[in-house]
Amino acid sequence: MSAAGALSSAFQEVVILERDVLPASIMSRAGVPQDRHPHLLLAGGLQALDSLFPGFAQDLAAAGAVPVNVFKDVQYERPDVGALPRRDCGTSLLCGSRPLIEHTLRRKVTAIANVKVQSQSRVTEIVPAATRPMVKFENDAGVGAAIEADLVVDASGRGAPTLGLLDVLGWERPQEIVVGVDISYTTAVLRPGRTSFDWQNLVTLPDPATSATAGLIIPLEGGRWFTSISHHGATDRPGTWEDYLAAARQLKTPAIYNAIYKLLPPGGLRHFVFDASRWRHFERLKRLPRGILPVADSLCRFNPVYGQGMTVAAREAKLLREILDRVAGEADPIEALQAGFMSEVGALLQAPWNMGGER
């Protein structure tokens, strides 16, 4: 959606092909299985989206997102020193559920006159062409259709349409760097009620010498909390609220357990498993098929523990907009946009990739 907004000023029509039936209200959907777990829109992502969609931050706050001052409102606990000192770094986040963030963004995108969101449209392949590639897709009943486009942005998450196209053409696939993560999350949504603490976010890191378990509490809309416990290499995950509380008691500090043990059990626990961070180096290829542009997770999928995914995608969309403005007068703006984006996106990705300790 952020890429669609970035491209809307330069194209006659932008069509988003979405496989899900999109909900009219703020709710989870099948195509985003991790949206029942904590998400963070970091300051850089919020700034990028507010630049692409003026008023986005204001709308997100009005929809119920919780402002959090970094690091004044964050209790960040490390095993070697305990809770770090609180400091006002002059930066604030807006914390909310992934469905809330997505719903707010979708309203901004669909308000753009030349952007069309077409749901129940699962992309099956990109067909090569000399001038304009064709995207084939089908609905839930298996009925197929196709669209020709000057530019196809592959935001599929795994880059399968672009990789399939390269295979059909007999072209080289990109080099992949894969860093095993093997992390699982168990998450519950709680209502703290009148419970009051001097923090908004609570993060407890593990001591790798003795444990691979970490914990998190993050506020979300409606006066609720996400509480999540992550495990590296775990084979058994908490199946009941009692199991969850037992896992919370095993954290390095008791802060998370003390915050949640008196609360009513949630409706259910949610699990999510992430196997590896993956950077497909499309930007290193000598060439890409004309009019094809992989973005976001199709390029680089990050370890979710650092909350970088949405922010990097938004910053890539902002980069797209900046390059579009530069290449508007070129003889072949499509080719110039591809080349310009691929020449700069690597530097944008390198910093968050390195921050995760991945080389």
Using only C-alpha atoms, the chain has a radius of gyration, in whole angstroms, of 21
Q: Is the separation of the CB atoms in 270 and 190 below 8 Å?
A: no
Model confidence at 102: pLDDT above 80:
yes
Residue type for 218, please?
I
The model's pLDDT over 111-163, given as tens digits with 9 standing for 90+, comes to: 999 999 999 999 999 998 878 999 999 998 899 999 999 999 999 999 999 99
Model confidence at 347: pLDDT above 80:
yes
What integer pLDDT is reported at residue 266 of this predicted model? 79
What integer pLDDT is reported at residue 357 of this predicted model? 54
Average pLDDT for the chain: 94
CA distance 294 to 164: 12
Q: How far is CA 230 from the centre of its chain?
A: 18
**Angle 236-28-226 from CA coordinates, rounded to 5°:** 55
Pairing mode, if any, of strands 201-204 and 74-78? parallel
Listed in sequence order, the residues at least 6 apart from 225 whose beta carbon sits closer than 8 Å to its beta carbon are: 189, 190, 191, 192, 217, 218, 219, 260
What integer pLDDT is reported at residue 358 of this predicted model? 53
Could you tell me which of 262, 274, 181, 272 has the C-alpha nearest to residue 225? 262
DSSP string of 45-60, one letter each residue? HHHHHHHHSTTHHHHH
Q: Is the separation of the CB atoms in 231 and 237 below 8 Å?
A: yes
Residue for token pair 């199991």: 243
CA distance 159 to 140: 21
CA distance 133 to 143: 20
pLDDT band at 98 (very low <50, low <70, confident <90, very high): very high
pLDDT band at 359 (very low <50, low <70, confident <90, very high): low
Helices and strands of the chain, counted as H and E runs: 9, 17
Could you tell me which of 85, 37, 41, 79 has the C-alpha nearest to residue 63? 41
Give the SS3 label for residue 208: coil
Could you tell me which of 99, 67, 41 has the C-alpha nearest to residue 309? 41
Q: Does residue 234 or residue 83 have the better pLDDT?
A: 83
Q: Is the separation of the CB atoms in 165 and 151 below 8 Å?
A: no
The model's pLDDT over 242-261, given as tens digits with 9 standing for 90+, comes to: 999 999 999 999 999 999 99
What integer pLDDT is reported at residue 356 of this predicted model? 72
pLDDT band at 264 (very low <50, low <70, confident <90, very high): confident
